[in-house]
Amino acid sequence: MTNLTSLSRRGFLSGAAALGGAVLLPTPSEAGATIDLSIGSSWAQLLPPPRPATPVWAYDSALPGPELRFRQGERLQLRARNHLDRPTSIHWHGLRVPNAMDGVAHLTQPPIGPGEDFLYEFDLLDAGTYWYHPHMGGAEQLGRGLAGALIVEEDTPIRVDRDLVWMLQDWRLERGGEVAPGFDSAHDAMHGGRIGSHVTLNGRPAPRIEVVPNERLRIRIVNAATARVLALDFGSLAPVVVALDGQPVAPHAPEGGVVLVGPGMRADIVLDATGEPGAAMTVRDLFRSGDAYDVATLAHGDTPLRARAPDWDMALAPNPLSEPDLAGAVRHDIVFNGGMMGQMMMGDEAPAMIEQMRQGRMWFVNGRASDGHDGPPLIAAEHGSSHVLRLENRTGWWHPIHLHGHVFRVMSRDGRPTAHREWRDTVLMAPEERVEIAFQADNPGDWMLHCHVLAHQSAGMAALIRVADAV
Ligand code: C2O
Ligand code: CU
């Protein structure tokens, strides 16, 4: 598939690659063809040269993995072949796929063993910004690099000059450049997960990105970190959020001026390059006060593209989602407990949870630590039924809670209705926050609900939602 936006992206990436980054050209998808994707080890220049390159795990040896681009309504057919020495799987984060294609090892498919392959095949129902990553092996497989973007283009996209994908990854690197071991660290699991030492954008640390004054960019931000929440600040530039987790939202300035993106989450922004000709403007992550750092520099060229920023419409057409029936919805209270200092907030059920903590399980959904595969489902839903989940974060930590197979509306936070009732597949809960979400259970199968801080997920912060077949 060839069109102007992917051509201009290819132009952009070649420029980036010429600067020495480990960026590979995207593989454009051809209608009807099966894409081959290899999973194996590779190298990437994550630290600025002359520091050493890093051995990584990668899709098609590229870091991030190849950008898969389709049109809404097309069918993805992809054969994944595992060249690693351990099993893996691929989950299509945010896409509403049939259960057998969801890529959760041991739940929706057997793991893809070393030397084996697996054919993923499904229709792309929703346009938007999605991503793919392994769904086994906890923090290690993502922490060593396995992640890629999957873009589904609208029939009539909004008008922009360039459409860019920013895959953000967080690495814990040792002095020699190797990815640090210790993916199962109990300390990480008890706290905010495996926070790294280096953040990369499309595989490069704080890249310099050339922009033309007064050009309009659509930037698809993907937080592929295993633990780090990002609060991106664009300085005097004025990003407008147009989609969250791939789903269109009424265009709005980000709350508090920063684009908040938790692990697993995405934000599509429209950004006009309104800096002066020649201006180098930094994009910074301000999430951890006292530990802000540059994510990228937007280097404005000398010759403006036009006299002023364009005023084109930014509203995206909605996807064909099933609206939850709020009046008839089943209501569920879902309480998250655990982590460092979490005992204080456990209430009556503390003894049972503390007993599980002695066995190395640190996080609980309604009192139970789970891998999301075992035991009775947290919710058993009839096909087509609507559900309101009152999520309560009784911990001192941030948690991006992800639901598979469905998207939901975020209805309220701490009892206050949200401004946009945004559709999402992952909702970020602040410490001690209460968030209400609503969805219609219209996709049959066993689906995970879990924290996308992967060290939390593997220490118990997961549950199963079972949706019955249509009758
Ligand atoms: Cu992005 Cu269950 O994962
Ligand atoms: Cu968490």
Of 176, 224, 221, the closest CA to residue 64 belongs to: 224
Determine the length of the chain: 471
User: If residue 138 lies in a helix (H) or strand (E), which one and from where to where?
Assistant: helix 138-143
User: How many whole angstroms from 129 Cα to the centroid of ligand 1?
Assistant: 14
Q: Is a pLDDT exceeding 50 seen at residue 19?
A: no
User: How many whole angstroms from 457 Cα to the centroid of ligand 2?
Assistant: 7
d(Cα 322, Cα 30) in Å, to the nearest integer?
29
Ligand 1 contact via 228 beta carbon (within 6 Å): no
How much is the pLDDT for 31? Answer: 57
Q: Among the atoms of ligand 1, which is closest to the Cα of residue 450?
A: 2
How much is the pLDDT for 289? Answer: 84
Of 199, 200, 234, the closest CA to residue 217 belongs to: 234
Ligand nearest to the Cα of 150, by number: 1
CATH number of 330-467: 2.60.40.420
| 167-300, CATH topology level | Immunoglobulin-like (2.60.40)
Q: Which of the four pLDDT bands, split at 50, 70 and 90, describes residue 471?
A: confident
User: How many whole angstroms from 409 Cα to the centroid of ligand 2?
Assistant: 20
Quickly tell me which residue has 């993916």 as its tokens. Answer: 183
Q: Do domains 9-155 and 167-300 have the same CATH topology?
A: yes
- For residue 332, the tally of other CB atoms under 10 A from its CB is 15
Yes or no: say if 243 and 94 are a contact pair by the CB < 8 Å rule: no
CATH number of 9-155: 2.60.40.420
Pseudo-torsion of CA 356, 357, 359, 362, nearest 10°?
Answer: 100
- For residue 402, the tally of other CB atoms under 10 A from its CB is 24
Ligand 1 contact via 456 beta carbon (within 6 Å): no
Residue 451 backbone phi and psi in degrees, to 5: -75, 135
**Tens of pLDDT along 38-54?**
999 999 999 988 999 99
Q: Kindly give, in sequence order, each residue whose CB lies less than 8 Å from that of residue 167, ignoring residues fewer than 6 positions away.
A: 64, 131, 147, 148, 149, 201, 202, 203, 222, 224
Q: Nearest C-alpha to atom 3 of ligand 1 is from which residue?
A: 93
Q: Among the atoms of ligand 1, which is closest to the Cα of residue 426?
A: 1
How much is the pLDDT for 26? Answer: 40
Q: How many helices (H) and strands (E) would you count in the chain?
A: 5, 32
CB burial of 219-232 (b: ≥16 within 10 Å; e: otherwise) equals: bbbbbbbbbbbbbb
Q: Where are the domains of the chain?
A: 9-155, 167-300, 330-467
| Averaged confidence pLDDT in the chain | 93
